[in-house]
Amino acid sequence: MVVFWKIRYVDTRHKQFKDRELWLDTDELDPAVKAEVELYFDTRDGSNERKILQYRHLFTEREAASAEMDGALQNCDRWSAVSVSDYLEDENGRELTDTDAARILTGNPDTVVVPPGAKQHDLDYMLADKPPVPLEELSLTNEQLTLFGYFSRDLRELSEAAFMKDSPGIISNTASGPGGARVSTEPVLETAATDEEIRSFLTIFRRLYMQGDAFNFLKTAKAASDILGDHPLGKWIAGAAREYETTLTEAPYPLPFFHSRSIPFSRKRLIDVFLYTQYAHQPKPDRIRQFQECLEAVGNRRGILTWLFLATVWECGGQMICCGRPIVALYNRYCELRGVKPTILESVGTDHPGIGTQEKRQARDERVLGEKAEQLARDIWEAKGRPAGGHAQFVPEARDQLKRTME
């Protein structure tokens, strides 16, 4: 197993942020340590991402595009990548806090520290005086209430989608071979969400993403920022929406082990070609051509292209949720204050909580078969004079007999 880790560090000598690319080949480790490290990667989730820091000393700094690394990746049975969102270190590998880094870079012991990844609109909002939103002075039209109402419904569905709650999955080059052995193959995509759950998520995502839809994310964000005017929250919503738009024009973040380090298509193009060929529409010739161009750009590796798509819609969905939460909160408070309740067609699942509670046919058949097989096995056992070993020894025979009647 080869692991890639790109770390942001502070060069205290030059007072600059720099990047270093770290690699770990677990085949080079002591067997016990190898097993421990690979166990971490097989069981990791968002709650234990910092545990990788205890293995930091095992990683070595190497160029990602080096011939040595290319060879290691071709010969390994598994790839993986790791990141720790709140981790910084200095040039010697010593962990730094955000405050440490800020004071090193500025030379000012009183430097204000901002969250990692903060954008200008985040900084402006953080440093601004934030008076309460004057809800009593706002007067929303029926059209605006309807817009916020449907946006609130769709954002809730997006947040609760199984795919959104999980990661977009992993890409590796392993598959099960003869006898369960892991063998090297073309990149393989693996996700926690099922195909059905991904399709469900994309149905909701599309309603918020498509600018032609009446209650889409950008239209709602603009309406909210216009209503709030010069209030810092309105400016923050407008800034977050601009950041989302900028994200769509940029290329997806490349996989660390992807040989071509630049991707020639934008996130928007990637989303569109999948929606218009795989999920929301029957494909037209121009969209099929665009899909093929994207596929060729990643060496015709479908697993990589699909992973990039899933990672992109998961990222964009997260941006919508982050920006949309204060909009929904504002809408809910306004409705409560004014005693209004716009007429919104609720989600089918909300109107009918019994959906999904009925036992599926396959589960029902298996349950009933098991119950009847137990009963028949006891009858067979009784008929044979209760031999030693109990009725359980006759359960397979009973199941086979009953299954033949179901065919």
CA 16 remoteness from chain centre: 31
| CB 314, CB 167: distance < 8 Å | yes
| CB 13, CB 91: distance < 8 Å | yes
pLDDT class of 176 with cuts at 50, 70, 90 = very low
- Domain boundaries in the chain? 2-106, 120-351, 361-406
Q: Is the pLDDT of residue 309 over 60?
A: yes
| CB 274, CB 206: distance < 8 Å | no
Mean pLDDT along residues 98-109 = 86
Convert the pLDDT of each residue in 342-386 to its tens digit: 877 777 666 667 666 666 778 778 888 888 889 889 999 999 999
Range in 75-84, 87-96, 220-229 the model is least confident about: 75-84
Separation between Cα atoms, residue 370 and residue 375, nearest integer Å: 9
Query: Mean pLDDT of all residues in the chain?
Result: 85
The pTM assigned to this predicted structure is 0.67
Q: Is the pLDDT of residue 240 over 90?
A: yes
Write the single-letter amino acid at 181: A
User: Coil, strand, or helix at residue 267?
Assistant: helix
Convert the pLDDT of each residue in 179-205 to its tens digit: 544 555 567 888 888 999 999 999 999
| CB 22, CB 61: distance < 8 Å | yes
Q: Which residue has the tokens 């298996």?
A: 366
